[in-house]
Amino acid sequence: MDSATLSRPGAAIDTEIKYLVPTSRINRRFWAPGAEYNTGVYDFYPATIRNARLRETPPTLDEHGFCLAEHPTKVTDFADADTLKAIYPAEVEEVAKRLTGCDFIHPMGGQLRSPVVGAAGVQPPAAEAHVDFNTPTANAIAKVFYDKMRPDGPGYERFVCFSLWRTFSPPPQDWPLALCEGPSIGEDDSISNYKVDVDEIPTGADLFAPIPDEEKLLAATIFKYSPGHRWWYYPDMTRDEVIFIKFHDSDHARAWRSPHTAFHDTTRPDANVRRSYEFRAIAYFEKKG
């Protein structure tokens, strides 16, 4: 579709975002091939998601926890795992160095997402306010991966766990990505959501059965609602644009994380089915001298 014929996005969308309810007690995310299931109790809360392209000054990593960048990719088929493995990590490192000034990255791998799951390896969009790691998980994996990559290295003074998010379906997309300004999130809004890998999603009481050393599992952070959360999105993204999202910046003097979620944009009658690829990595800033 020619860009001149696209419906026009508004300055803001009044919608709802799924948050954890304050009374939710056992919060786990079961992950199986082609499916995810959260045991947490969620509900939809009102939210205004503003068009970040219309800001006088664009959002930045250090002030907001996310940013948009131009970065054409040489990948022509995001379903081709071999091509992605050969090409994409170096592209992610190039973007990360340019945006953060880091010394190097540790690539952690990527994920295809679409509301139409169908193909193997495709997960549905994550549709609740979340950050992919909690603080203990971020600290632990940063140390493990650095020690593995740089056993004789000088150590690091800072790290940033992040995702580079790209959509490769034509604009407009039916399920865009909403991003929350990190500084608008209070620590009391944050809850750990432990990731449990399974072959099949359990049912009934098995969802809530005790898990030994559950607190040692990798965990994301999910969020309770607050009217002070400030949400943004980038309509009409192209495959040559990427969003850099902080999961955890060890320097908390900066915006150190950005909650995010997919949301269904019902304001665009010509919306296309979203297809996206997100790549997780850790950016390291080594000690000098």
pLDDT value at position 1?
Answer: 43
Find the largest Cα–Cα distance for the chain. 57
- Which of 87, 19, 65 has its CA nearest to residue 161? 65
Burial class (CB in 10 A: 0-12, 13-18, 19+), 176: buried
Record the tokens describing residue 139, joined without a space: 């600290």
What whole-number distance in Å separates Cα of residue 86 and Cα of residue 195? 28
Q: At residue 159, what are phi and psi to the nearest 5 degrees?
A: -140, 155
pLDDT value at position 43?
Answer: 97
- Which residues, 6+ apart, have CB-to-CB distance to 265 below 8 Å? 13, 15, 172, 173, 174, 175, 176, 235, 271
Domain 46-54+61-185+222-286 has CATH 2.160.20: no
pLDDT value at position 210?
Answer: 94
pLDDT value at position 4?
Answer: 57
Q: In which region does residue 34 sit, left (phi positive, over 0), alpha (psi from -120 to 50) or beta (all else)? A: left
Q: Which residues of 222-239 are buried (b: 16+ CB within 10 A; e: fewer)?
A: bbbbeeebbbbbbbbbeb
Identify the segments of the chain with pLDDT beneath 70: 1-4
Laid out side by side, the sheet with 104-113 consists of 66-70, 241-249, 156-167, 276-286, 104-113, 122-123
Rg value, the chain, Cα? 19
Place of tokens 């001149």: 4
Task: State pTM to two decimals.
Answer: 0.92
What whole-number distance in Å separates Cα of residue 41 and Cα of residue 51? 29
- Which of 233, 230, 241, 244 has its CA nearest to residue 268? 233
- Residue pair 181/255 in contact (Cβ under 8 Å)? The answer is yes
Q: So where are the chain's domains?
A: 46-54+61-185+222-286
| DSSP label at residue 160 | E
- Which of 262, 260, 257, 254 has its CA nearest to residue 246? 257
H or E element that contains 241? strand 241-249
